[in-house]
Amino acid sequence: MPGVAVALLAAGSSLSFGQAPGQKAPWVTVAPIPVLSVTQGQQGSVNLQFRVAPGFHINSNTPKSQFLIPTTLKMDPPTDIAIGRVSYPNGKDMSFPFAADEPLNVYTGDFAVELAVHPLHTVVPGKYAMHGQLKYQACDNAACYPPRTVPVDFQVQVLKAPRKGGHNPPQSPHAHP
């Protein structure tokens, strides 16, 4: 009887994500992303938190075969905000019935991607919308499905850089009576 309860619980959690193969619900979701505050000309970073639905896995950013579609983050930043290094976590080597002889490097459950954001010194201070997408291919224990994307949107608050220099030019002793 406990096995039936576990199976029902697993089915219920799978259904709450809407992950039946015929449905269009995402297999990967992104957690809300807080506003990133960063000063003009400096670099900041944001950790993007993703969740792979129970019962599924996605290829890591560095799958072991050239025929597998890697998980990739692509951002389309506004002018004067550069995207720096994108750091993906290491995947986990796992074997599946459809490829028992060849372990796959995958992400399951929760994983994070770190993204460096660099507002140039020329950007006007203010709040900017960042838009992008995570491309992935989801699989379960029996099959892989066509690649999908999940939108990745967040705000960057660019703060004014402190003034440089700060010293007054020398004054003539004759300037004051």
Domain ranges of the chain: 24-159
How much of the chain exceeds pLDDT 90, in percent? 61
- What would the pLDDT profile of 100-136 be if each residue is shown by its tens digit? 778 889 999 999 999 999 999 999 999 999 999 999 9
Residue 168 has pLDDT above 70, yes or no: no
If you average pLDDT over residues 56-78, what whole number do you get? 93
Q: How confident is the model at residue 53 (pLDDT cuts 50, 70, 90)?
A: very high
Residue 32 has pLDDT above 70, yes or no: yes
Residue 70 CB burial class (10 angstroms; 0-12, 13-18, ≥19): middle
Residue 93 has pLDDT above 60, yes or no: yes
Q: Are 138 and 147 in contact (CB under 8 A)?
A: no
Residue 37 has pLDDT above 50, yes or no: yes
Q: How far apart, in whole angstroms, are the C-alpha atoms of residue 29 and residue 177? A: 72
* Dihedral Cα 57, 58, 63, 68, nearest 10 deg: 110
If you average pLDDT over residues 130-149, what whole number do you get? 92
User: What DSSP assignment string belongs to 26-56?
Assistant: -SEEE---PPEEEETT--EEEEEEEEEPTT-
> What is the structure's pLDDT at 123?
94
Residue 167 has pLDDT above 80, yes or no: no
Q: How confident is the model at residue 170 (pLDDT cuts 50, 70, 90)?
A: low
What is the distance between the terminal CA atoms of the chain, rounded to a whole angstrom? 99
3-state SS, residue 99: helix
> What is the structure's pLDDT at 25?
59
Q: Quick one: fold of 24-159? A: Immunoglobulin-like (2.60.40)
Q: How far apart, in whole angstroms, are the C-alpha atoms of residue 32 and residue 20? A: 24
- The pTM of the whole model exceeds 0.85: no
Residue 67 has pLDDT above 50, yes or no: yes
If you average pLDDT over residues 156-162, what whole number do you get? 93
> What is the structure's pLDDT at 176?
52
Question: Nearest-CA neighbor of 26 among 152, 155, 154, 129?
Answer: 152
Q: How far apart, in whole angstroms, are the C-alpha atoms of residue 47 and residue 88? A: 10
Average pLDDT of the residues of the chain: 82
If DSSP states are collapsed to H, E and C, what string results for 49-98? Answer: EEEECCCCEEECCCCCCCCCCCCEEEEECCCCEEEEEEECCCCEEECCHH
Residues 81-93 as b or e (16 or more Cβ within 10 Å = b): bebeebebeebee
Residue 45 has pLDDT above 90, yes or no: yes
